[in-house]
Structures are given as structure tokens and as C-alpha cells.
Structure 1
Amino acid sequence: MKMDRLKFYLVTDSDILRERDFYKSVEEALSGGVTCVQLREKNLLGKEFLIKAKKIRELTRKYNALFIVNDRIDIAMLSDADGVHVGQADLDILDVRKLIGSEKIVGVSASNIEEAILAEKNGADYIGVGSIFPTNTKKDAKNVYLNGLKEIKKNINIPIVAIGGIKEDNIKLIKDIGVNGYAIVSDILSAKNIKEKCENINLIIK
């Protein structure tokens, strides 16, 4: 089932990779067990973003992984992504759905129970809940912590992907809550051996 592939969710961040090859790094993550890639490129202009999206679309198809585009509905549609992920400050989910259609996945960020309930009510396919732990990769992230994640899990029926400061050494703290996916950024992209790091994480979340 398509939504099962939300389980091991990589969010890209070119800044963390520094000089390392972006596409090679993403492929290493996919070969290590990542089942979903969200392309998050806040500083790229449309043309460059689309080029990157099309290449990531090819890689995710190769590994039978989901491909989600952050924020940019136009890029998601033009690259034939599986879906789009939007934050609370982005377009309203009802408008997103009008643009992207019913066949595509729409994920919505939530940092509290009210945002999560509203997202589900308005038709989100999954909710990205965070930040679970403090993180430097998203400066404006609000902390939810484990208790907040538990509360949202109790009140939401659609899949939940936990995000924010999640690492190999703290992921077990989340596992008992029973989320559907784990979104990881820096712990994967800063690893010396990305494939090995992903294999290690995959053993924990299975």
C-alpha cells in the first residue's frame, strides 16, 4: 500500500551535505532502506527546483519509494511527484487539493492537537508532527515533544509521521507511541556513510 511507504522518510537539505553530491547521497539513502523522500529546497528558484525534482522522481521510482515535494504544488505536479507537503503558513489544504487532485498525497505539518484535527478534517492524507526533539534544520519549528505526539496520536486516525531532531540514538523513544513514519534529516545527511546509517535506522524501526 502506498501510505506504508511513509515509514522511513528522508527530508532533503543541501546545506547539510555541503560539497557532497546531492543525487548520490539521496540514492545511498534509498539503497539503505529509505521509503519516502521529501524534496525540501527553500532557496532554489523554480527552474532549478524542477530539474532537481525530476531527477529525484527517477531515483524514487527506481527504488519504489514515495516522492513528496515540500510546499511547491506546481513543482510536484510537473515532476509527477506522489504528493506535496505543506506547512501551516502555506496554502490551505482545501485549496491544495483543488490544484493537485484527489489521487495525489497531501501531507500537512502540525505542532499541536488543534492543527492536527483540522488537517484531518480538511482531508490531509497524513500529518507531519514536530518538532519532537530540538532541531537546527528548521529554525521556526515549534517543539511538540513526546507527550504532544502521544496526544495527537490518540486523536488522529490518519497516518502520523514524526519529525524534528530524530536520530538513530533516540528513535526508540518514539517507536512505542506507534507512529506510522519517521522523518529524518541531519542524522542521515551528515553521516559519513549514508547507506550504512540508513540500514542501521531501518533495523530499529522495522
Structure 2
Amino acid sequence: MKEFRLYAITGEEFHPGKELVNVMEQAILGGVDIVQLRDKKSSKIDVLKKARKLREVTKKHGVTFIVNDHIDVALAVGADGIHVGQDDLPLDEVRRIVGPDMVIGISTHQIDEAIQAEKGGADYIGVGPIFPTNSKEDVVDPVTTSYIQQIEAEISIPYVAIGGIKRHNLKQVMDAGAKRVCMITEIVEADDVKARCEEIINLMEEATT
């Protein structure tokens, strides 16, 4: 998969009155290089409609597009990848369905899950939640930055830190070893999404120099 640094997940409930595609395009213009559509409440047809629009804008800008959970939607729109959780289909089944070329990511919350994901052929893993977060209803307890340090020591595939990451605690995440971060509310709630993403990337660069 293409290298990435700033990963954005959709969160329409956090930007009422703003069009989903417009918000995510501003994020892309600000430096986001992966967009994930995560929608656990809409009907399948509505998820498909959103996915088609996001596939169009991500393709225009050369940005990786991931669909959360909905494998059929990911295949239907030609998404670059699918992201699954620990309670979804096993990785080998997901790979059998999507074929050899689609990116597969999986959320992990402890080191044995990460090791299993790597052995199972995941292309990348989500590592978190690092801090408390309100952007997901079925969230587990925070794993803290110590989990990032474990991942750095034992896992070789790409990983993205996620969960409660904001500008004020971003340096803690980077200092623990993370090179890629995922944000939802910190990006989509901003009045100026493009400027916010540019600021986040500047902070990431400062933390690694």
C-alpha cells in the first residue's frame, strides 16, 4: 500500500450542516492521504451513495480510500481497501472475498491481536484507542502510548495510532514512536478543515525533528 501519514475517518455527526464530500476534500487538500468512510447507522444504499462520492474525490486527488466494515460496498465502488474490527470476518475470509490487491486494515487493542494481524496478512493495523474518545460507541478502554512502544518493538507492518488524538497530545504519540496518526473530530469539527490538517502535519513534522 502507499505510504501515508495523516489518516482521516468520516464523522458526519461532528460537522452538521456541512457536506461530507466537501469536508473530506478540504482535509485532502490540507494533507490527509487516507480517507476512511465509517458509517454504522445509515442504510446500505446510503452508504453506497456516500462511498461513490468519496471514491470519486479520492481518486481525483490520488488519495487512498478505505471503507469500514462494508466489504460489498468497497468492492462495488472500487475502493482501495477495507477496514475491519476484531469482531468482523477473519482476515483470511476477508482476503478471499476482496482478492490479493485490496488493502486490508484491522483495528487492534493489544499486542497479541497485532501479532495475529501481521501473521494473518493485514496490510496495516489500527493501534488504539490511545486516549479516551467519544467518536465511537463501542470503544474499548484506552491502551495508552505504551501500546505504541510495544508495536514499535514487535510489529513490522505499517500501523496508525488512533483514538482521542488531538493537537495538544499529538507530541506524546509521536514521541512514543508513531509515524502515522488517525483523527476524526480534530479534523472534521474544525471551522477551516484544510488549515487544521496543515497545522496537524506541521506539528507532526516538528515532533520528529
Structure 1 Cα separation of the partners of residues 177 and 83 of structure 2: 21
CA RMSD after TM alignment: 1.1
Equivalent position of 2:188 in the other structure: 189
What do residues 126-153 of structure 1 show as CA deviations (whole Å, max 9, x unaligned)?
0001100100001222211001221122
Question: Any conservation in 2 of the 1:39–1:53 contact (CA below 8 Å)?
Answer: yes
Letter in 2 for 1:78: A
1:66 aligns with 2:79: no
Equivalent position of 2:121 in the other structure: 123
Structure 1 counterpart of 2:99, from 98, 101, 115: 101
Structure 1 Cα separation of the partners of residues 91 and 42 of structure 2: 23
Structure 1 Cα separation of the partners of residues 152 and 113 of structure 2: 13
What do residues 37-80 of structure 1 show as CA deviations (whole Å, max 9, x unaligned)?
00001111111111110110111112111000001111111110
Letter in 1 for 2:195: E
1:9 aligns with 2:1: no
Structure 2 Cα separation of the partners of residues 177 and 82 of structure 1: 29
Normalising by the residue count of structure 1, what TM-score does the alignment of the two structures yield?
A: 0.96
Equivalent position of 1:134 in the other structure: 132
Equivalent position of 1:50 in the other structure: 48
Aligned identity (percent) is: 42
Equivalent position of 1:157 in the other structure: 156
Q: Secondary structure at the match of 1:47?
A: helix
Letter in 2 for 1:39: L
Structure 2 Cα separation of the partners of residues 112 and 103 of structure 1: 27
What do residues 74-117 of structure 1 show as CA deviations (whole Å, max 9, x unaligned)?
11111100000000011111100000011010001000001110
Letter in 1 for 2:104: V
Structure 1 Cα separation of the partners of residues 139 and 161 of structure 2: 13
Structure 2 Cα separation of the partners of residues 114 and 198 of structure 1: 32
Structure 2 Cα separation of the partners of residues 69 and 97 of structure 1: 14
Question: Any conservation in 2 of the 1:27–1:59 contact (CA below 8 Å)?
Answer: yes
Question: Any conservation in 2 of the 1:163–1:183 contact (CA below 8 Å)?
Answer: yes
Structure 2 Cα separation of the partners of residues 167 and 71 of structure 1: 25
Query: Cα gap change, 1:101/1:180 in structure 2, threshold over 3 Å: closer, same or farther?
Result: farther
Question: Any conservation in 1 of the 2:146–2:176 contact (CA below 8 Å)?
Answer: no
Q: Secondary structure at the match of 2:3?
A: helix
**How far did residue 205 of structure 1 move?**
2.1
Equivalent position of 2:81 in the other structure: 83
Structure 1 Cα separation of the partners of residues 58 and 143 of structure 2: 30
Question: Any conservation in 1 of the 2:148–2:177 contact (CA below 8 Å)?
Answer: no
- Which runs of at least 4 in structure 1 moved beyond 2 Å after TM superposition? 176-180
Unaligned runs of 5+ in 2: none
Letter in 2 for 1:203: N
